[in-house]
Structure formats: C-alpha cells, structure tokens
Amino acid sequence: MPTRPKIGIYWCASCGGCEETVVDLAEDILGVVEKVDIVFWPVAMDFKKKDVEALPDLSLLATLLNGAVRSSEQEEMVRMLRRKSKYMIAFGSCAHTGGIPGLANQFSREHILRYVYEETPTTINNEKTRPQLRFAEADREVDLPEFRHVVRSLDQVVDVDYYIPGCPPTPNITRSALTALLDGRLPPKGTVLAPDIALCDECPRKATKPADLAFAEFNRPHQKLLDPSLCFLAQGIICMGPSTRSGCDAQCTKGNMPCTGCFGGTTRVKDQGAKMLSSLCANLVPKEEEAIDQVLDGLPDPIGTLYRYGLAKSLLRRRMDLPMETLPPAG
Amino acid sequence: MSDSPAQTAGSWEPRIIAFFCNWCTYTAADLAGVSRMKYPHNARVIRVMCSGRIDPQFILEALAKGADGVLIGGCHPNDCHYAEGNYKMLRRFRLLRRVLDGMGIAPDRVRLEWISAAEGDKVKTVMTEMVEKLRALGPLGAPDKFRDWDREMEEFEHAIQARQGQEVTHAH
Amino acid sequence: MLPKRQDPIRIGFYVCHCGVNIASMIDVEAVARYAQKLPNVVVSRHYKYMCSDPGQELIQEDIAEHRLNRIVVAACSPLLHEHTFRSATKKGGLNPFFFQMVNIREHNSWVHTSRADATRKAMAQVRAAINRVPLHKPLEVKKVPINPNVLIVGGGIAGIHAALVLANAGKQVYLVEREATIGGHMAKFDKTFPTLDCAMCVLSPKMAAVGNHPNITLWTYSEVTKVDGYVGNYKVAVRRKPRYIIEDLCTGCQECVASCVYREPKFPDEFNLKFSKRKPVFLPFPQAVPPIVMIDPETCIETKTGKCKKTCVEACGDRKAIDFKQTAEIKEIQVGTIIVATGFKTFEPSQSPYYSFYGHGIYPQVYTSLEIERLVNASGPTGGEIILRNGKIPKKVAIIHCIGSRDVNTNHWCSRVCCLYSLKLAHLIHERTEAQIINFYIDMRTPGKMMEEFYDRISEEGVMMIRGKVADVYPDTSNGDSERLIVQAEDTLMSRVLKIPVDMVVLSVGMEPNPDSDEVRRKFNMSCSSEGWFLERHPKLAPVSTFTDGIFVAGCCQGPKDIPDSVAQAGAAAAEAFSLIDKGTMEQEPNTAFILEDECSGCKSCLPLCPYTAILFDPVKEKAFINEALCKGCGTCVGSCPSGSIKQNLFEDEEIFCEIDGLLASVEMPAEEPAIKA
C-alpha cells in the first residue's frame, strides 16, 4: 500500500482558530484524515517534537503553519519544520501577514511585558516578578524561550511556498488548498491560495454599492443600527472589503458585520492598509484641513483598523522609534 | 551618498524623496533652476502628473528604503490642473500623518506643500527648511533598523548551531 | 524588480554637458562611467549638446549599431526636451516611449554648489531612470477626430466676435444666448472709452451680421442643459425656452405690441433696469437681434388665465406668428469645440451689508453706473437726459469708484474697467447737465492704449478727483426739505474729511462672476479660480484654452476686462478652435489610466473620483471601466484603487517603485577609467 503523504500542523503566536478550521472541515475531515498522515499536530495529537526531528528532511509533504512568530522557540520550530517539509504553507492571517499579534509591533517589548506582568488592573505583582530566560534550582536549570522584540510573519523567518489567508481561513479555502496539494495541482510558488480580486466581487451587498461614495462622517459598527442589506461604506461604516481578497464567501458581511481585511491585499498591492487609506480618504467630502480632520476623527484607531492583520508585513513593519533592549541577564 | 547613514567622511546627510506634480511643483522647481537659486542637494525628485497620483505606498516605500524624509508637492487648493486631485492628496495626508505618528515617524519627516508654478523661491525655502529639520532629527535609517531587528534571529541561529555541538548557552 | 522578458534589455545612456551648464557642476564623465556599470546598460556616452542634431543622430546610430531597445538621456528638464528625445528615439526605430529623461540641469547643476554632491546626486538620478526604463511599455499616441462645428455659449461682444470669425471661415457655428436677444452688456452702454464712440453703432452691425450669417445658427432665449463627450466629439443639449412667438414668422412690425389689451405699458422693463415700463408682449430693445418680439408668460393675461381677447393675434393677422401653445424644445447638436463667453454680472450694492449704507435702493438719488448708462443712452428711458427721480436735473454729482471691488469684505479683485468708465460717465453727465462732477477714487487705474490720454482729457474738462473712499452717504438735513445727499470722505492727499452735498450719487460697481457660474462651469468641465472666474489653462501662455481639451473661454467670464481685450480674447479663442478643426485630429499623450478588467471587483470607489467623468460602470459586467478619450492622465484613480486594479501608462506603480529604489541606492564614485567618449 503506498504511503500516504505526511502533513504537519503547528501553531506559533496563535489563538487556535486556525486549528478550529481544520476541525470545521467537518465531514470532510475524514476525507483529509484518510488521505494523509498527520504526523505532528500538538493541539490534537500526541506526537512530540523529537518524533518530527527524527524524520528525514523533506519527508513531510507539507506543514500547515499558523500563528505569527515571536519567540525563539517558534523560530526554532518553524526552521525545523521547514527543513522537514517539501512545502511550507503559511496557514491563516498570522502566518501570512503577522495577524492580530502583529499589532504588538506598535509597542516595545518592555512596554508589553511591563503591562502584562505588572500593570493590568487585575494583576498583583508587588515584587515585579518577570519571566526569566533561565532559572536554576537545585541542580536543574530550566529555560524559557526568548520573547523577541519584533512580531514576524512566517515568511520573515523561513522560506514559504504558499499562503492560505484568513482569520481563520474558511473551511472552503482550506479544503481547496488541501485538495490542490494532494492532487499535485499547485500554482507557482508564493501564491496566496485565494482569488486575486477584492471582496466586493462576491459580496451580496455589491448591488447596493453607491456610484457616488462620499464620506461626510465615519461610524463604527456599534454606533448605529446596521442595515442588513446596504453596503457598509454607504452607511459610513468602514469596510475593508474593497482592499481585501475575496474567497471567504463574504461571511462577515453576510453576518451583518463589515469586512476587517483578514484575507490580506491583492498581489497588486504592497501595503493593504496604505491602499485602503488612500481609497477612503479620496472619497471624503470636505476639502479643508479642519473639516477633513473632523471626519477622520470618526476613525479613532487608524493602525488598528487599516493594519489589523497586516502590520508585520506592512512596508514599515514596526514602530520606528522603539528600542531593542537586551533582556536582564539570566540568573 | 551611500545608504548607510554613517558616511566615510563621517557626516551623514539627510536624503529626501520628493514627489512633484508636473504642472505646478515640478515646473516651480524648473523655475528655481532657471533662476539659478541655490538650495541643498539632498532631495531627489520623482515626477508624477498630479499629486492625486501619489499613493501612500510610495511614501511608505521611500521611508522603508532609506529616505529620511518625503516631500510631496502639489498645486494650491482650487488650482489643481486636474480640478481636484490635490484635495485627494490632502485628505490622504491627514490620515497618513496619524498613521506615521503611530509608527514613530516624526511629523517633520513627511511634508505636504502647495507650490504653484510661479513659486520657484518656495521650492528653495521648503528644501532648505526641510533639510535643516531633518539634520536635527537625524537619520531614520529604516533599512538599517530592519537589519538590526532581524539580527535578533541571527543570534539565535548561532545558538542553535552551538547547541548541536555543545551545551545550551543563551545568547542575547 | 525587472520583468522577465523575451528580449534582454539593452539601454543606451547619454549624459549631456549642455556646454558648461551641466558640466561645470557635474562630472559628466564620471556619471557616464558610473552608468556603464549599471544593469542592462550597453552604451554609455557623454556629449556636449545632446539636443543638437548630431546629438540626436548619435542616439539613432547607436540604436542601430548596438541593437538598443531603451534610451535614457540625462540633461535638462523633460518639460523642455522630452519631446525632442522621444522623436529621436522614434527616428531610430524604437517606440518613442521607451525613453526616460533625467533632469540634471534645472534640478541639479543649476541649483547646487558642491561638485561632489551634485555629481553623486546625478548618479542617483541616473540610476533611478535606468531602473525604471526597462519597464516602459510600447505606447501609442492617441488620435481623436475633430468635428468642425463649433458651439459658442453667450451672445455678448466676445461671443459675437468669435462667432463671426469662425463663420466667416466657413465653419458651422451655433450661438446660444440665454436672453431673448444677443448684445450682452455692451448693448446697454451709451458710449465706450477711450474714444467715446457709440456702443450700439459699433455693436449693431456685428449683431446684424450674426443674425444674417448663413453659417451661424442663432438660438436666443436658450440655454445649454447638458454636455457629453470629449474634445472633437461633444454632444450638447440646448433648451429653447418658449417666447410664444414663432421666430421665422415674426417680422418685428410690433403691431401686436400696439394692439395689446394693456393700453399703457405697465410692467418694469428689465433692459432699462426698471426705469421704464413695457407691456407683456414687447421687443427687448430697439436693435434686438433677432428683431422679434417676445411674450412674458408672467405678465400676459392669456398665458396666465387663458381668458384674453388676444388682440395681438388679431393684429398679427395673416402672419400668424403668435403661438400660445409653444413649449420648451430640446435641441441636440454635435460639435467639436466649445467657446464659453458667458460674461459677468455687476455687483449689487443694495444686496450687500457692506455697501447698503451707500443707499442704493433707499435714497432715490443713488444710482449704479449701469443705471446711468441707460439714462445717458439716447434710446434709454429718459431719451438720453439725466433727470433725477424727482424730475430735477442734478447740479452736483458724486461718482464713487471701487464699489464692491478691492475689498476683502466683498470682492478682492480690481474690476479693471471701473476707473475708466467712471471717467467716461463723468464726461457724459457733465456734457448733458453741465453739473459739477466729483470722482472719489482709491487709485486711478487707466492702463492701456490711449487710456492715460483719456484720463488727461477728462481731468482737463474740470472733473474734480478726490482720493478717498467714501465712508458714508446720508441725507442733507441742513437745508429744510432739501433733496440732497451728503457724501462723506477723507481727502487723503489733503488729510481732510470732506462732507459734500450732492444731488446725485453714482456707484461705480465692479464685475462679478455670474451667480450660476459654478453650475455652468461644471457643465463644461471647467475649473474656476478661487474668485469664481473660469480658469484658463495658463495665465500667461494659454489664456483662452482650459484644462479640458476643446473648451475655450473668452471675455469677462474669464476675468474682468474691457471691450478691446474681450474682442481680442474672443478672436484668440476662435483661432485656437479653428486650429484644432483645421488639423482635423488631436493627439493625446498616452499617460491615461486603464482598469484591469479581470481584477476589478466592481467596488465603485473610483467612480466619483474623476473630474472628467471618464470612469464609468458597466452594469452588465459589474465592473468599472475608463473612457480613454476622456481620461486626462492625472492618476488620481490609480492612487486610490484599494485593490491596485487601475494602472496608469507611463506612471505605473512598478515604474515608480523602481525610481524610488534607484534614487536611494548606494552610489559609490567609480574608480578613474577612461569614459566612452562620443
């Protein structure tokens, strides 16, 4: 009996949603499971790192890697899985473009650690204890992975063959990608496995898109009653649809929420956030600075809105005035 | 001018990428030349037909590739050769300014100026002022920063290799 | 960065000394050496004068000998010589758009002072062009045919003159005028400065010529409602308002007027600025063209109630020229060029809070200059006599300059003609009444041919000139029931405040854009200046064309001016229109934008962005597309498309990214090596 191709599924800085997608393949998961050998899937299966390390290089057909990369352990794992896999597939927004964890690139590492370990309202940590890279007790030494300064997408750490976008990728997209993989029908290396056209193409609200879009104000979704059939932009709600790939079946807009851009930009765009900024602003009504700023006040968090999933892969990647401090010495 | 901020001569010079619209600002810069006005050499001009063409991606790319500042020149409001392109640029600029703020880029580094075709002297003034301000701010040095950031991965790479032979030692 | 191509890119690079203009500040030989080492550069030369014939031939020879397929020239500004080198490239057998120019003169050698810095900057500039040029595509200049018919909007002196110039040249002209007759403001004047010749004597023959010309289709009492299309190919809809008279049948005999059920004229006559009365059926003014009557539907009993005896119809008899059933008619015409000459309106002091204290509309002794023009006119309401509303003849008249003009509260600009016509009115009023005239001015502006001489003449006639803006006008209560007004002003040259009692005050009102000028200009895709005047393409070098090809402006709608200048501008507009028509086609620079059909998602974000309405939506494909002929190549839609699905020829994203790269690349001064000499 011919051996089934081996697949690895691993998660880095992740929420677990991408793993859910694999589970959400529902009955199709059996179709997947019987066609492949999952040899590594920490959330669901009991294989260990050393089991994968023991496999020959390139013996996995593919690894589906979700989550952004921020720790030294994650770097080590993705490098190892890269060696072992013929195809490294960035699975989900975090691996594709840094995802929501990427927004941490607006802050310094020190700022984050201090907040998390000392300053949140529900934390009591009078000794200001912080995780240590290394801790010795008795005759043992334990260590923790290093928390890097910079959040990275997968391809900023290792060579990536394909991208399955989405937060999380839809079961449909995942199914098609896996089928293509198993049938050996893969497009050129580096392709994002979703249509290269913006979401408006498949959005059911497309017919209500106005031909004279002009923003006199912006509202956020919780600030008004959302008309379930009218284009969000026509309602003054920011929808990232025009700058975001389709392929997700417009689940968010069908669910009466605007698109937030999780499939990322098209191949024709280098920086999805910048392009959406350009489009929204071009369609503003006022012509004078003050009036313009007033309308833009309706967008309180431009980076969070425009770069929600893509900050790590944007042109600037990270806030430019942050330090690269060394961590306190081990001990 | 090499792209590393530390010059061989020991003095770094700011580098500015200037996007000038054909009808007003580019013509004004030509006029400054014809009038033999003198201004610092730090800006390099990219010509577009209208400031409305200027994609925020261009500005971010210029910064990411090593520019210390970006200057955008367009026609005065109401005078755009193509009616309203400059308003689109103005609106983009107002939001981009906030994004750049959030990305730690000082406001003086990205500047929008309305310069009409007759204002050669304004080209000189703006160039001179901007270079002074950038000298005070120092280099942005994005490519160097990217390299610096990514070095944190390289250090670890050495550690992996070290571990394959020896005991674990952590590198910082 | 470079595209995968079938043929390898072979670049020919040329750097010009421009005599010493470039070479004195930039080490051009070092630049040539530097360029030689860049990717894809096959030939790298420096030469004294690239734009000269030998320089251009050099390019052509190299293309042949070295099988070049891209050319880069580093020299002066592309605004000067891009066209020259594109032609040279074309003569060498290449598509002319496989060329890129580098500005190392106006933007470099002429403005910098350090040779080392200038040379290094030049190298970076050159690198940018050499990076970019491989991506250039073989573009074709677009040619658009020009329909020889012309539409002229506005039948004042400018429109009339332009119409005659073109019609005499054999072109079919449509002249559309909103009022019932052509003539504009000039028809209201009595005499014109500086010669004091009679306005109507000069204007009337021209108006008659228009009315009779076989090549002019004159549509008065009509307005343009819609303009579609693009240069050479405009489709215009004109709405002809009903005057209830059949134009071709009316002979202008005016028997209908005489026999109207209204025995006496009862309604204010607009042409005479309401100083006289007319009947519901009337001839707009004696020399009207077309010389036919019209019926005002607001005041005619038949149009309002349907219950009139219609004595007018009876009087008209066999001619049967009256038709109460007439309705508005829409005419559609096709023209290649349009001249907009819609004129101006005068400033209304009574409607402005800043000028109402001058008392126009309050004190009967206060008149605007335009009202005086009618009084002083022999065919006006007083037969040319200056008679006050109280029946008396004024003995002392104040003429106040700059009403509404040169004032940050109302209109900032100088209206150019007011000082001169104020002097003219001073002369005319004095001539009719022997009154003492006092002109209150801020500055005396009399530029132009024979104008200073005119000013001298009027001064010598005894007109008093006081330099000071009038601060107040109020009734003189000092003398019983005097009907005089006090004009209070500071004589700034004497530093004295004057309070002068006068019988009549004339306000020299300035010119303003028409109140509906925004609506009008949008129909024709024209811009306006911040003041509201229609915008010319260039204030010095292109004063009659606009940014929309094929649409021209003439006369005061472009800015205040006198009659000689209006006529000159009208002639210029006609000539430029004629030039297009004669050529038959128009070439457009191929920097147009185009939408990638497969990639467009139909998000419609681009549709409202184009000021030329070049972007349209295909409801069947559900995608946007661009009408190339309308696209002016600004690139605003390209920069805005959120999915990057619009591209601009000559300014594609990738081309600009290449330039950015090249400008920021590290530039090391190359070692000394013999450069390739021309």
Q: What is the DSSP secondary-structure string of C525-537?
A: T--B-TTSPBPPS
- Lowest mean pLDDT, pick from A115-124, A125-134, B65-74, C283-292: A125-134
**Domain for residue C676, yes or no?**
no
Please check whether residues C127 and C161 belong to one and the same domain: no
Partners of residue B80 in chain C, C-beta under 8 Å: 527
Write out pLDDT tens, residues C485-518: 999 999 999 999 999 999 999 999 999 999 999 8
**Domain for residue A188, yes or no?**
no
Q: Evaluate if residue C567 carries a pLDDT over 50.
A: yes
Residue with tokens 């809809």: C237
Task: State which residues form the domain around C131.
Answer: 11-139+655-664
pLDDT-derived band at B156, boundaries 50, 70, 90: low
Residue B64 in contact with partner chain A when CB distance is under 8 A: yes
Helices and strands in chain C, H and E counts:
16, 34
**Domain for residue C673, yes or no?**
no
Please check whether residues A124 and A246 belong to one and the same domain: no
| Strand ranges, E, within C424-568 | 436-441, 464-467, 470-475, 485-491, 496-502, 504-509, 511-512, 551-553
Q: Tell me whether strands C294-295 and C281-282 are parallel, antiparallel or unpaired.
A: antiparallel
pLDDT-derived band at B160, boundaries 50, 70, 90: low
Q: Which of A241, A23, B55, B52 has the alpha carbon at shortest distance from C654?
A: B55
Please check whether residues A155 and A227 belong to one and the same domain: no
**Domain for residue C385, yes or no?**
yes
Q: What is the DSSP secondary-structure string of B126-163?
A: HHHHHHHHHHHH----HHHHHHHHHHHHHHHHHHHHHH
Please check whether residues A247 and A210 belong to one and the same domain: yes
Write out pLDDT tens, residues C417-474: 999 999 999 999 999 999 999 999 999 999 999 999 999 999 999 999 999 999 999 9
Write out pLDDT tens, residues A40-81: 999 988 999 999 999 999 999 999 999 999 999 999 999 999
Please check whether residues C350 and C434 belong to one and the same domain: yes
Are C72 and C59 in contact, with CB atoms under 8 Å apart? Answer: no
Are C552 and C340 in contact, with CB atoms under 8 Å apart? Answer: yes
**Domain for residue A193, yes or no?**
no
Please check whether residues C508 and C527 belong to one and the same domain: no
Write out pLDDT tens, residues C317-372: 999 999 999 999 999 999 999 999 999 999 999 999 999 889 999 999 999 999 99
Q: Evaluate if residue C672 carries a pLDDT over 80.
A: no
Q: What is the DSSP secondary-structure string of A52-81?
A: HHHSPTT-EEEEEEESBEEEHHHHHHHHHH
Contact criterion met (CB < 8 Å) for A201 and C617: no
What pLDDT score does B159 carry? 60
CA distance A318 to A150: 7
Task: Give the number of other CB atoms < 10 A from CB of residue C177.
Answer: 26
User: What average pLDDT does range B84-103 have in this prediction?
Assistant: 95
What pLDDT score does C522 carry? 78
Q: Evaluate if residue B157 carries a pLDDT over 80.
A: no
Are B90 and B6 in contact, with CB atoms under 8 Å apart? Answer: no
What pLDDT score does C272 carry? 92
Contact criterion met (CB < 8 Å) for B58 and C120: no
- For chain C, the distance separating the N- and C-terminal CA atoms, rounded to the nearest angstrom, is 31
Contact criterion met (CB < 8 Å) for B4 and C666: yes
CA distance C539 to A143: 75
Residue A270 in contact with partner chain C when CB distance is under 8 A: yes
CA distance C120 to chain B (A): 6
Please check whether residues A142 and A153 belong to one and the same domain: no
CA distance A37 to A28: 15
Q: Evaluate if residue A9 carries a pLDDT over 90.
A: yes
Helix (H, G, I), strand (E, B) or coil at C456: helix
Distances (CA, A) of C527 to B81, C9, C557: 9, 43, 12
What average pLDDT does chain B have?
86
- Lowest mean pLDDT, pick from A158-162, C156-160, C450-454, C539-543: C539-543
User: What average pLDDT does range B122-148 have in this prediction?
Assistant: 95
Residue B130 in contact with partner chain C when CB distance is under 8 A: no
- The C-alpha angle C129, C131, C136, rounded to 5 degrees, equals 80
Which residue on chain B is closest to C549 by alpha carbon? B82
Q: Which of B105, B102, B97, B94 has the alpha carbon at shortest distance from B142?
A: B105
What pLDDT score does B166 carry? 47
What Rg value do the Cα atoms of chain C yield, rounded?
A: 33
**Domain for residue C42, yes or no?**
yes
CA distance C112 to C16: 17
Please check whether residues C578 and C599 belong to one and the same domain: no
**Domain for residue A166, yes or no?**
yes
Are A9 and A22 in contact, with CB atoms under 8 Å apart? Answer: yes
**Domain for residue C266, yes or no?**
yes
Please check whether residues C89 and C168 belong to one and the same domain: no
CA distance A21 to chain B (A): 30
What pLDDT score does A108 carry? 94
Q: What is the CATH classification number for the domain harbouring C96?
A: 3.40.50
CA distance C474 to chain A (A): 42
CA distance A65 to A53: 16
What pLDDT score does B5 carry? 40
Helices and strands in chain B, H and E counts:
5, 4
**Domain for residue A319, yes or no?**
no
What pLDDT score does C538 carry? 75
Residue B88 in contact with partner chain A when CB distance is under 8 A: yes
CA distance C199 to C188: 8
Partners of residue C614 in chain B, C-beta under 8 Å: none
| CA A204 centroid distance within chain | 25
Helix (H, G, I), strand (E, B) or coil at B66: coil
Please check whether residues A26 and A174 belong to one and the same domain: yes
Q: What is the CATH classification number for the domain harbouring C380?
A: 3.50.50.60
Q: Which of C308, C195, C183, C188 has the alpha carbon at shortest distance from C244?
A: C308
Q: Evaluate if residue A137 carries a pLDDT over 90.
A: no
Are C116 and C26 in contact, with CB atoms under 8 Å apart? Answer: no
Mutate to test the interface with A, among B149, B155, B160 (most CBs of A within 10 A): B149
| CA C322 centroid distance within chain | 39
Q: Evaluate if residue C5 carries a pLDDT over 60.
A: no
Contact criterion met (CB < 8 Å) for B50 and C638: no
Please check whether residues A308 and A232 belong to one and the same domain: yes
What pLDDT score does C422 carry? 97
Please check whether residues A81 and A228 belong to one and the same domain: no
List domains and CATH numbers for chain B.
Answer: 16-139 (3.40.50), 141-172 (no CATH)
Of C103, C107, C120, the CB nearest to B1: C120
CA distance A298 to C503: 61
List chains adjacent to chain B, taking adjacency as at least 3 C-beta pairs closer than 8 Å: A, C
**Domain for residue A295, yes or no?**
yes
A279: tokens are: 């489009």
Write out pLDDT tens, residues A93-107: 999 999 999 999 999
Write out pLDDT tens, residues C56-110: 999 999 999 999 999 999 999 998 899 899 999 999 999 999 999 999 999 999 9
Backbone angles phi, psi at B133, to 5 degrees: -65, -40
Please check whether residues C278 and C377 belong to one and the same domain: no
Of B1, B27, B49, the CB nearest to C635: B49
pLDDT over 90 percentage in chain C? 87
Q: Evaluate if residue A209 carries a pLDDT over 60.
A: yes
Write out pLDDT tens, residues C519-533: 898 788 777 777 889
**Domain for residue C670, yes or no?**
no
Please check whether residues C283 and C187 belong to one and the same domain: no
CA distance C177 to C161: 14
Q: Evaluate if residue B108 carries a pLDDT over 90.
A: yes
Of A75, A315, A318, the CB nearest to B60: A315
Write out pLDDT tens, residues C603-650: 999 999 998 889 999 999 999 999 987 888 999 999 999 999 999 999
Distances (CA, A) of C253 to A302, C230, C260, C286, C325: 74, 43, 13, 11, 22
- The C-alpha angle A88, A90, A95, rounded to 5 degrees, equals 135
Backbone angles phi, psi at C209, to 5 degrees: -60, -40
Which residue on chain B is closest to C663 by alpha carbon? B44
What average pLDDT does chain C have?
93
Of A201, A212, A243, the CB nearest to C642: A243
Contact criterion met (CB < 8 Å) for C643 and A209: no
Of B17, B49, B58, the CB nearest to C634: B49
Are C555 and C343 in contact, with CB atoms under 8 Å apart? Answer: yes
CA distance A181 to chain C (A): 25
Residue A212 in contact with partner chain C when CB distance is under 8 A: yes
Please check whether residues C338 and C370 belong to one and the same domain: no
Please check whether residues A22 and A166 belong to one and the same domain: yes
Please check whether residues C28 and C61 belong to one and the same domain: yes
Please check whether residues C489 and C518 belong to one and the same domain: no
CA distance B66 to chain A (A): 11
Partners of residue B50 in chain C, C-beta under 8 Å: 634-636
Q: Evaluate if residue B1 carries a pLDDT over 50.
A: no
Q: Evaluate if residue B62 carries a pLDDT over 70.
A: yes
What pLDDT score does B165 carry? 54
CA distance C43 to C37: 10
Total structural domains within chain A: 3
**Residues 110-129 (B) with a CB less than 8 A from some CB of C:** 124
Cis peptide, bond prior to residue C290, ω within 30 of zero: yes
A263: tokens are: 């499939």
Write out pLDDT tens, residues A276-297: 999 999 999 999 999 999 999 9
Task: State which residues form the domain around A285.
Answer: 199-313
**Domain for residue A107, yes or no?**
no
Q: Evaluate if residue A140 carries a pLDDT over 80.
A: yes
pLDDT-derived band at C666, boundaries 50, 70, 90: confident
User: What average pLDDT does range C192-203 have in this prediction?
Assistant: 93
Residue A216 in contact with partner chain C when CB distance is under 8 A: no
**Domain for residue A331, yes or no?**
no
Q: Which of C494, C643, B10 has the alpha carbon at shortest distance from A261?
A: C643
Write out pLDDT tens, residues C132-151: 999 999 999 988 899 999 99
Helix (H, G, I), strand (E, B) or coil at A90: strand
Total structural domains within chain C: 5
CA distance C545 to C533: 14
Q: Which of C66, C46, C67, C59 has the alpha carbon at shortest distance from C87?
A: C59
What average pLDDT does chain A have?
92
Are C185 and C159 in contact, with CB atoms under 8 Å apart? Answer: no
**Domain for residue A321, yes or no?**
no
- ipTM of this predicted complex? 0.93
Distances (CA, A) of C330 to B95, C226, C229: 47, 10, 18
Please check whether residues A179 and A238 belong to one and the same domain: no
What pLDDT score does C478 carry? 84
Please check whether residues A221 and A308 belong to one and the same domain: yes
Partners of residue B83 in chain C, C-beta under 8 Å: 527, 547, 611-612
Which residues contact residue C163 at a Cβ distance below 8 angstroms, ignoring those fewer than 6 apart? C152, C173, C175, C210, C213, C216
Residue that finishes a domain, picked among C479, C512, C545: C512
Please check whether residues C261 and C278 belong to one and the same domain: yes
Q: What is the CATH classification number for the domain harbouring C617?
A: 3.30.70.20
User: Which element (helix H / strand E) includes C655?
Assistant: helix C653-664
What pLDDT score does C279 carry? 95
Residue type, position C579, single letter: S
A62: tokens are: 């593919």
Q: What is the CATH classification number for the domain harbouring A166?
A: 3.40.50.700
Please check whether residues A134 and A221 belong to one and the same domain: no
User: How many CA atoms lie less than 13 Å away from A230 in the CB half-sphere?
Assistant: 11
Please check whether residues A172 and A55 belong to one and the same domain: yes
Please check whether residues C91 and C106 belong to one and the same domain: yes
Exposure b/e, A80-116, CB count within 10 A at least 16 = b:
bbbbbbebbbbbbbbbbbbbbbbbbbbebbeeebeee
- For chain A, the distance separating the N- and C-terminal CA atoms, rounded to the nearest angstrom, is 54
Between B and C, how many residue pairs show a Cβ–Cβ distance under 8 A?
A: 140
Q: Evaluate if residue C181 carries a pLDDT over 50.
A: yes
Residue that finishes a domain, picked among C490, C512, C534: C512
**Domain for residue C247, yes or no?**
no
